[in-house]
Amino acid sequence: MQVSAFIASEKSKQELEEELNTLEVQVFRMQQNVKEIAKQAYIVSIDQTKEANWVIIYAIRKANSIQMMLHECTKPFLGKWDSAIEAEYKLENTLNITDIKGEENKGYGSVLMNHLKELAYDENKHYITGDIVKRDFDHVERLKHFYAKHYFDVSINHKEENGKIVWSPC
């Protein structure tokens, strides 16, 4: 009985050491990555994914649009993002999502969406909108779940294979 308790506690100690080593690597990479990313974009934030990996959120603004990108600090930054969300400024009070790209099921989209919503709030935008188009219909249920999870009103026309999303902070 005492031997198994000892093994369990040793395993926990070993797991903690592995987590610490992983964290140290990510912090080192984060420092290096921030320097490189800041040369071409502005840093929005540093955050964590659902898997507790550290990520850098950064953006490039143009006259009427913003591209918010994410890079995971488990690897060096080589000029490419892991996920991105693009939005256009529409009217005076609306951001319109034009595209979301990146790996699925890593939590990247949620991290970026939370930062886009924060940006909309900070800039006094009353709505974030977007379209679901025909090319999205091979994964429309996943999109519907994603947007609903982020408190968007989602309307889907299955017959015409299109839809709309709307979010308002109010």
Please check whether residue 97 lies inside any domain of the structure: yes
Distance CA 56, CA 44 (A): 8
Section 75-83 average pLDDT: 95
- Residues 143 and 130 sit within 8 Å (Cβ to Cβ): no
Number of domains in the chain: 1
pLDDT digits (tens, 9 = 90+) for 11-66: 688 888 887 788 788 888 899 999 999 999 999 999 999 988 999 999 999 999 99
Task: Please report the pLDDT score of residue 42 as a whole number.
Answer: 96
Domain assignment of residue 85, yes or no: yes
Give the count of alpha carbons within 13 A of 169, CB side only. Answer: 15
Q: Do the domain assignments include residue 160?
A: no
- Residue 37 inside a domain? The answer is yes
Query: pTM of the entire structure?
Result: 0.85
Pick the more confident residue, 109 or 9: 109
**Average pLDDT, integer, range 109-126:** 96
Q: Report if residue 102 sits inside a domain.
A: yes
Domain span at 105: 2-125
Coil vs helix vs strand at 28: helix
Question: What is the per-residue pLDDT for 110?
Answer: 96
145 part of a folded domain? no
Q: Is residue 120 part of a domain?
A: yes
Single out the residue of 147, 155, 160 nearest to residue 116, CA to CA: 147
Is the pLDDT at 1 greater than 50? The verdict is no
Which tokens hold the place of 11? 């395993």
